[in-house]
Amino acid sequence: MIFKKSQHKIDQDTGIEFEESTELWVADFGSHEIEQELRREVAKLKPKAQASFSWTIVSVILLMFVVITELLLRQIGLKMYWSEHFIFWATWIWRLVLIVVWLILARLRWLLTTDKMFITTIISFVSAVMIMGVIKIIYVRSAWAWLNFLVEPIWVVLLISFLGILIIKITKNKDK
């Protein structure tokens, strides 16, 4: 059995066109289960490619998801008579969970480069925190809401940086 992958290329120096081929020969034992297992093993050998979709759209979708879920969390908290202080900490725990899940997906599932991983995360979460800050200023009408509007974006950037570096260090150690 042969697994063949060919690619049409042009030599930059001479301008000659050629067909580059990669072949992998595998013994055929006549068993369907062995063949399927070999196909899975060969698929694991292929280098994984980075996901290809628009990072602007991804950032906007992530921004909308963060804002909507935080608004829902706030409304649930108000209906359950939570204090503003408790809603604040519940929101930060929710942000922490979302940041960790997003960074793990970006790093391990979609194989993003570190710059794309950090750029999409920082843009989306800082924008979401600023939008939520404006909403808090309108709803809460206290001085601490203004202070949080100024401080929370800095906290989010620091949190994303710390968690992103931690996830990168952990995943690099697993690769070795």
> Beta partners for 8?
19
For residue 28, pLDDT beyond 60: no
Residues 11, 18: Cα–Cα separation, whole Å: 8
Query: Residue 19's pLDDT is what?
Result: 66
Q: What is the per-residue pLDDT across 35-82, written as a single tens digit (0 to 9) for each?
A: 777 777 766 666 666 667 787 888 899 999 999 999 999 999 999 999
Beta-carbon contacts of residue 127 (< 8 Å; ≥ 6 apart)? 63
pTM as predicted? 0.70
CB-based burial of residue 55 (10 Å sphere; 0-12 exposed, 13-18 middle, 19+ buried)?
middle
Query: Residue 8's pLDDT is what?
Result: 65
pLDDT classification of 6: cutoffs 50, 70, 90: low
Q: What is the per-residue pLDDT across 78-105, written as a single tens digit (0 to 9) for each?
A: 999 999 889 999 999 999 999 999 999 8
**Whether 152 contacts 88, CB under 8 Å:** no
Q: What is the per-residue pLDDT across 97-130, written as a single tens digit (0 to 9) for each?
A: 999 999 998 888 877 788 888 999 999 999 999 9
Query: Residue 1's pLDDT is what?
Result: 52
Q: What is the mean pLDDT of residues 136-143?
A: 84
Q: What average pLDDT does the chain have?
A: 83
Query: Residue 52's pLDDT is what?
Result: 73
Query: Residue 176's pLDDT is what?
Result: 47
Query: Residue 31's pLDDT is what?
Result: 67
pLDDT higher at 43 or 134 = 134
Give domain limits for the chain: 2-45, 55-175
Runs of H (alpha helix) within 49-142 = 55-79, 84-104, 114-140
For residue 146, pLDDT beyond 60: yes
